């Protein structure tokens, strides 16, 4: 039996793409295999790990749980490749993850970056408990989460600095980055 294929249009990171996909093609697979955007990672492929998180119309979505044909009905998709500014300046969340050493193998990182970027847009001044809660649905096998939480707070500082509020020192200088390791957030 032949499988139905669909010609779809996806606007990803501001660029219009076309693809011919089977009806059951996952958005995560479409991004990676049809569009070549391999920054989106696939871990569990059933909605648990969050590695595949992208922004659909600005909201975090697990792209392994959305069909590409469904995604085509939305206006805009942002992957990790689309977070940096057009001139290559890293997104504040990317800068913060680098400053705070919030990644080790990096497999989970694209999902955290997109998730946190959307979170801070709606919650620009989180406390530590808020930051911990924000990332609790994404899994990281390496970092112990402490530096990821620090990076969320640091990204908020950087973002507020861009809005004219004086930038705080990096968390490491303030002694706020705990030892690596530990349990879930
Ligand atoms: S790969 Fe999508 S949630 Fe794990
Ligand atoms: S840095 Fe390795 S899984 Fe998170």
The residue count of the chain comes to: 185
The predicted pLDDT at position 161 comes to 87
If you measure from the C-alpha of residue 174 to the centroid of ligand 1, how many angstroms do you get, rounded to a whole number? 34
Ligand nearest to the CA of 42: 1
**Alpha-carbon distance 175 to 153, whole Å?**
13
Q: pLDDT tens-digit profile of 94-128?
A: 999 999 999 999 999 999 999 999 999 999 999 99
Cα-to-centroid distance, 28 and ligand 2 (Å):
19
Helix (H, G, I), strand (E, B) or coil at 132: helix
Domains of the chain: 5-82 (3.10.20.30), 92-169 (1.10.150.120)
Q: What is the pLDDT of residue 3?
A: 80
Residues 6+ apart with CB under 8 A from 36: none
Distance CA 78, CA 147 (A): 24
> What pTM did the predictor assign?
0.87
pLDDT tens digit string along 143-178?
A: 999 999 999 999 999 999 865 444 444 444 443 433
32, 42, 66, 138: which to mutate for ligand 1, most atoms within 8 A of CB?
Answer: 42
Which of 32-41, 131-140, 151-160, 169-178 has the weakest average pLDDT? 169-178
Query: Which of 63, 61, 5, 55 is closest to 30 using CA atoms?
Result: 63
């Amino acid at each position: 039996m032949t499988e139905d294929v669909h010609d779809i249009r996806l606007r990803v990171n501001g660029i219009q793409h076309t693809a011919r996909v089977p009806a059951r093609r996952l958005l995560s697979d479409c991004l990676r295999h049809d569009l070549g955007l391999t920054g989106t990672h696939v871990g569990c492929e059933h909605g648990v790990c969050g590695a595949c998180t992208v922004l659909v119309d600005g909201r975090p979505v697990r792209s392994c749980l959305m069909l590409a044909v469904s995604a085509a009905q939305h206006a805009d998709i942002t992957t990790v490749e689309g977070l940096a500014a057009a001139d290559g300046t890293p997104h504040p969340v990317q800068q913060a993850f680098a400053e705070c050493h919030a990644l080790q193998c990096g497999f989970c990182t694209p999902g955290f970056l997109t998730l946190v970027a959307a979170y801070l847009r709606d919650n620009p001044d989180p406390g530590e408990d808020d930051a911990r809660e924000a990332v609790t649905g994404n899994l990281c096998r390496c970092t112990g989460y402490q530096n990821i939480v620090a990076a969320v707070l640091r990204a908020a500082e950087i973002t507020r600095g861009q809005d004219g509020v004086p930038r705080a020192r990096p968390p490491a200088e303030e002694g706020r980055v705990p030892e690596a390791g530990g349990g879930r957030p």
